[in-house]
Amino acid sequence: MAKKTTPKKRPAPVEDLNLRHIVHQQFDRAARGLDVPGGVLTSIRLCNNTYSFQFPVRVGDEVQIFKGYRAEHSHHRRPLKGGIRFATHVNADEVAALAALMTYKCALVNVPFGGSKGGVAIDPRVTPADVLERVTRRYTFELYHKNFIGPGVNVPAPDMGTGEREMSWIADTYGVMNPGDLNAMACVTGKPVTQGGIPGRTEATGRGVFYGIRDLLDNAVAVKRFGLDAGIEGKTFVMQGFGNVGYHASRIMVQEGGAKLVGIGEWDGVLHDPKGLDPDKVKAHQQRRGTILGFGRARSSKNPRSFVDIPCDVLVPAALENQLTLNNAHRVKARLVAEAANGPTTPGAERALLKRGIAILPDIYLNSGGVTVSYFEWTKNISHMRFGRMAKRFEGMRERRVLDVIDAATGKTGFSDDERYQLTKGPDEVDLVRSGLEGTMSDALNEILGELGRGRGKDLRTAAMRVSIRKIAATYEALGIFP
Ligand code: NAD
């Protein structure tokens, strides 16, 4: 009798998950064939410097040592710009990679900053607010002493684990150390509106994600090329990560785009409801209970990895890096992966997805809404006036005259009071911010698609990176570094 054999379990594929190596691979693929000297390419690719430091903070009766980082990837434009991450896994390689992505992102969306990124290895979920405040203030102090922060030097912003609250602590600490500096507020962006922030910054990355997906699905050439169904309305999507970016992107995709949120992944599990989830109600539940699980009648799974199994049109990773890997790329059911997070797809997963005809909207394009509106906030801070202050009334008056002329020509009052109000109120600052963001996202997508259309780069990431590298190289050329 033949001996029974148990089938051997296939070993999980091994991948290099170092984000710095991954970004280098993406860069090298995009740089191939570009008309830029090798030395210039190398200097664009490398991270200029990373400051790693340790600092003591009192926690209860003890003194604890925390590890902080700030990487400066490129000084081809100043100041440098990039978020601050509070997470236990923060390390020097991670911030260097994220800083590089910032450089490429800023160049792609024509935001005149070099790329930077920073962080503290700390878990904000379990750290009391008073300790977080002392850590944030001390971190700012350490950056200041090494000239790693300042309105014209390096300007942080929120990232994973940080938000308006931390940004206002940073602004306050910097301001205390720079009395009389008129531009001190511009040392950081993502501040509360009452402290020099700008309306629309908190939702900006999520809103940019919405514009990016919507515009791709509205572009007839792209839709044909990637075999997608046109239009965002009615499209199902799954969001992994329901923090700042994931929540706002979900909310705007549902409320303004008419898309249907059928699944949400979080660190402790996954919610699934094919009938659609209400992002605001899930957020309220998450804030009340500390988890998305157990929401209404939706199916809850305690396996956080199962988000990839949910059938949908668009899968949106909005949590952290290395979420789509060789281990799970074959399970993705979507036609489009929209990278709201930085670095969520490994190169192996990317190859597997592209081979299956699944398009990937890359991070350096799709989550650039945050830095775009940060640029607006920084500009507002150094100009010391809110956008639209001088033009609002004038524009409202001009629009009123146009309506009066139409009414006079037609001989009747053709507009309701509400229509008249909406058409003549003049733009508020948030209207200008949204319109600036929408235009920026649309222009960048056109540049990426133009690059693809000219047969350069076979996928959206490579095309986006090529656009960025070429723009950065042009600044070297202007400096005479190019032969
Ligand atoms: P956040 O801290 O507000 O939210 C992250 C969410 O992901 C949290 O709800 C967290 O619980 C969840 N999460 C953490 N680990 C997870 C895991 N293993 N599986 C599933 N969910 C997990 O952070 P954010 O600001 O929304 O940033 C999310 C991503 O977007 C990051 O990659 C960040 O670099 C990128 N990003 C953020 C901004 C911004 O303006 N905040 C701008 C550009 C890019």
pLDDT at site 342 = 97
> Does ligand 1 have an atom closer than 6 angstroms to the CB of 205?
yes
How many residues are listed for the chain in this entry?
483
State the Cα–Cα distance between residues 113 and 81, nearest whole angstrom.
6
> Does ligand 1 have an atom closer than 6 angstroms to the CB of 68?
no
Judged against a pLDDT cut of 60, whether residue 232 lies above it is answered with yes
> Does ligand 1 have an atom closer than 6 angstroms to the CB of 375?
no
Interval between CA 226 and ligand 1 midpoint (Å): 27
pLDDT at site 11 = 73
Give the start-end residues of each E strand in 121-268: 154-158, 236-240, 260-266
State the Cα–Cα distance between residues 65 and 178, nearest whole angstrom.
26
> Does ligand 1 have an atom closer than 6 angstroms to the CB of 266?
yes
Over the stretch 237-266, which tens digit does the pLDDT of each residue have? Answer: 999 999 999 999 999 999 999 999 999 999
Task: Output the residue whose Cα is nearest ligand 1's atom 24.
Answer: 160
Over the stretch 340-382, which tens digit does the pLDDT of each residue have? Answer: 999 999 999 999 999 999 999 999 999 999 999 999 999 999 9
What is the model's pTM?
Answer: 0.95
> Does ligand 1 have an atom closer than 6 angstroms to the CB of 202?
no
Interval between CA 240 and ligand 1 midpoint (Å): 9
> What domains lie within the chain, and their CATH numbers?
50-194 (3.40.50.10860), 198-391+427-483 (3.40.50.720)
- Indicate the Cα dihedral angle 218, 222, 225, 229, nearest 10°: -20
Interval between CA 114 and ligand 1 midpoint (Å): 22
Judged against a pLDDT cut of 90, whether residue 149 lies above it is answered with yes
> Token pair for residue 36?
């830029």
Query: Active-site residues: which are they?
Result: 117
Better pLDDT: 388 or 5: 388
Average pLDDT over residues 147-167: 98
